[in-house]
Amino acid sequence: MTLRITILNGPNLNLLGTREPHIYGHTTLAEIEAMCVKRAGELGLDLTFRQSNHEGVLVDWIQKARETADALIINPAAYSFRSVALIDAMKALGKPIIELHVSNIHARDELHRHSITSTAATAVICGLGPYGYVAALDAAVHLAGGGR
């Protein structure tokens, strides 16, 4: 059985590569997606990769993942620090969830240090830069029971 992994990206991540490169680096979201597609191919995964600046759209995609994914990887970005709607959708998913952050949020300023969405995640990866997405794919396979 082919594992289905959904990766969701929150607000402003479409600006990766140009937005605050001293924090997020110079790799674009398109380059990250290409890395993920490559790794998913190596692992034999069915991958969905999306980004939205809109909270409700992310909630809709999380809800859709109840039927279309075996695990979810989410970089909630700014919504990590304020979105009860994302938390509720994540809690209703009933599947492994990896919360992902490009930067080490624990080493950041007070506003960016405390992710509330982590309370609904199975695991959290942060501070690995773009490689964190590849690590999250490997971890998602393990958590979804397809360990290789």
Out of 24, 79, 112, 114, pick the active-site residue: 24
* All residues at 6 or more sequence positions from 134 whose CB lies less than 8 Å from its CB, including other chains: 35, 36, 39
Active site residue 131: no
pLDDT at 147: 58
| Separation CA 28–CA 3 (nearest Å) | 26
Instruction: Tell me if 80 is assigned to a ligand binding site.
Output: no
Instruction: Tell me if 115 is assigned to a ligand binding site.
Output: no
Percent of the chain with pLDDT over 70: 98
Q: Are 68 and 6 in contact (CB under 8 A)?
A: yes
107: pLDDT confidence band, cut at 50, 70 and 90? confident
For the chain, which domains are there? 4-143 (3.40.50.9100)
Cα-Cα end-to-end distance for the chain: 13
pLDDT at 67: 97
Instruction: Quickly count helices (H) and strands (E) in the chain.
Output: 5, 5
pLDDT at 112: 73
Instruction: Tell me if 60 is assigned to a ligand binding site.
Output: no
Q: Are 78 and 19 in contact (CB under 8 A)?
A: no
Out of 22, 26, 101, 142, pick the active-site residue: 101
Whether the predicted pLDDT of 101 surpasses 60: yes
Instruction: Tell me if 75 is assigned to a ligand binding site.
Output: yes
Active site residue 24: yes
Across the range 17-34, mean pLDDT stands at: 94
Q: Are 50 and 8 in contact (CB under 8 A)?
A: yes
Whether the predicted pLDDT of 140 surpasses 80: yes
| Separation CA 78–CA 14 (nearest Å) | 13
41-96: per-residue pLDDT in tens?
A: 999 999 999 999 999 999 999 999 999 999 999 999 999 999 999 999 999 999 99
Whether the predicted pLDDT of 106 surpasses 90: no
pLDDT at 148: 46
